Structure 1
């Protein structure tokens, strides 16, 4: 019978390079303590790289820069998927995602219906901020970003350029989803979002 370490190694090598893994993924192979020790040994052997506490990646290699680690955004997405929680980017992260800010936020703030926590990923951090479930009801990938980006800019502080850019993005959203999400937004944000529905059937 294969050891816990060998079973985990086989499982990892069956995954694509760049895949993120968590200790819980390997609980069928041994006790939590056995899994932890096996992951430590696999890290020492460079089969895995630890990207944050309790989060590992099967590394990808680049001839130019060596080991390529996942971005903080990819880590955040993997955590949300693992925990089966909803998340919505907020603040400067939402602005950056819509191209309204070229500054890469050092702290990613995600509104969530899951547990609040903060995770360090290299020099950046991911903060899961627990909010009321109704804050997460927006369905559209673009419209929920737009709502949070506009909240970050503030009522009366949205430039013509920023408004135009947001409306352009919103035109790519499914109309039925956009109408659903507009109804969830504050009135001043609804007025901006509704501009994306003009000339749309």
Structure 2
């Protein structure tokens, strides 16, 4: 029986994945050892069957017939893939959080995430930079990504610039359960952030 190469096995698997999926050697360790898989991924990239996003991370074909071109992946998906690979808990921060929550329509000049992993910067092959800023696990591990994003948005806006319009937009992103959970967890946060959460909770009761 003819032995199937590692590259051929990877091609078979990749064909079953959704368009634009992100993959790395760590996703295929059941196929072969790390170095062999890594070399096979590089060859697939050279053959145009994968697109390199950054060193060690690749995207499956994502051709858009209407635009007649391949669509690149979003920085958020790259950040989530890196977090999955390294076992980090992350959430959008700073301008990235504002954009994610609809508080800003500007595309962030840089994509920033809080993380219980190390402070680190990645530059994608398209030049976009992704920053991970270390934050103690206890500060984010009990929050969902959306809840942590709301806290980061409040912190980015600052007390002086918070207003009813912003509070209403943030409230619209949260369910009643998420709002209650933030209220419970907020006691360990900065006092003014907790005060903002309480104000948002009070405003929801009058809506």
TM-score by length of 1: 0.88
Residue deviations 1:61-100 (CA, integer Å, cap 9, x gap): 1121411121111111122122221112111111111111
Residues 1:193 and 1:65: Cα distance change in structure 2 (over 3 Å): farther
Q: Report whether the alignment pairs 1:192 with 2:205.
A: no
Q: Report whether the alignment pairs 1:29 with 2:6.
A: no
Partners of 1:6 and 1:169 in 2: CA distance? 45
Residue deviations 1:112-169 (CA, integer Å, cap 9, x gap): 1123322122231111222222221442443321211111122223244323322343
Q: Secondary structure at 1:2's aligned position in 2?
A: coil
* Contact 1:59–1:69 (8 Å) recurs in 2: no
* Contact 2:110–2:130 (8 Å) recurs in 1: yes
Residue deviations 1:25-65 (CA, integer Å, cap 9, x gap): 22333333322221121112221111111111111111214
Partners of 1:99 and 1:190 in 2: CA distance? 21
Aligned to 2:102: 99
Aligned to 2:48: 46
**Match 1:59 to one of 61, 66, 69:** 61
Aligned to 2:187: 183
Residues 1:142 and 1:5: Cα distance change in structure 2 (over 3 Å): closer
Q: Secondary structure at 1:183's aligned position in 2?
A: helix
Uncovered stretches (5+) of structure 2, i.e. residues with no partner? none
Q: How many pairs are equivalent?
A: 200
Q: Secondary structure at 1:102's aligned position in 2?
A: coil
Instruction: Report the Cα offset of residue 175 of structure 1.
Output: 4.4
Q: Report whether the alignment pairs 1:123 with 2:131.
A: no
| Aligned-CA RMSD value | 2.1
